[in-house]
Amino acid sequence: MKALLSVVVVAVVVMVSAASTRAQAPAPAPAPAPAAAAPAANGLQRVAFIDVQRVLARSAAGVAAREQLEREKAGMQKEMDAKRVELEKLRDEMEKKGALLTPDARKEKQEQFERKRRDAARLADDFQKELEKKESVLLQKVLQEVSGIIERVGKEKNYYMIVEKRGAGVIYAAADADLTDEVIRAYDQQAPKGPAAAPPATGPAKKP
């Protein structure tokens, strides 16, 4: 019993001593104020993307420019169709009248046909390159025009990175990370109300 009382007394003394030590110790310094909120750990909330091809397809300026490209493409196609008809007529003439022509005349017709065929192939290749170049110019123009909008949206929504979906090779992204429609709306709002300017012509100037 005495041993038990001794243990209790020792325990009480230890408790009192600890309480006295705590009372004499200086109060802990206040915790430092939290720093400015860092970007959320969840990357999907801080990283976003836009699809420039969708901006081209759906924005007012993109639609107008693409319509202009389609009109130019239709004009090129019309010219190529005329070349095709010319080649078909020349070929039919060779098949129907070839037997009546002298060897020299037949050779001349064949060389003429091959020359026109090569010219048509070169023209088709030139048209294709011209359209690709104009589309590239259009893409760069849109990127330049929306870059300020993207920067503004990124700052307003506290994103630390906005990528281009196709160029960055995005395999998966949540729908909430897609800012394309928001950028399109802002792009349309700041676009001039007049008709959109067509991409500058890049092909060789035609003589009058």
15 pLDDT above the threshold of 50: no
128 pLDDT above the threshold of 50: yes
Task: Report the pLDDT value the prediction gives residue 208, as an integer from 0 to 100.
Answer: 40
- Alpha-carbon distances, residue 136 vs 40, 66, 76, 153, 200 (angstroms): 36, 12, 18, 25, 11
145-201 per-position pLDDT tens digit: 888 899 998 898 888 899 888 887 887 888 888 999 999 999 999 866 544 444 444
What CATH number is given to the structural domain containing 49?
3.30.910.20
Q: What 8-state DSSP symbol labels residue 16?
A: H
Contact yes or no for 153/186 (Cβ under 8 A): yes
Average pLDDT, the chain: 75
Task: Report the pLDDT value the prediction gives residue 192, as an integer from 0 to 100.
Answer: 65
- How far apart (Å, rounded) are the C-alpha atoms in residues 161 and 22? 50
Structural domain contains residue 81: yes
Domains in the chain, number = 1
In the structure encoding, which two tokens stand for residue 79, read together?
Answer: 């010219």
73 CB burial (10 A radius; 0-12, 13-18, 19+)? middle
What's the pTM value of the predicted model, to 2 decimals?
0.56
Structural domain contains residue 199: no
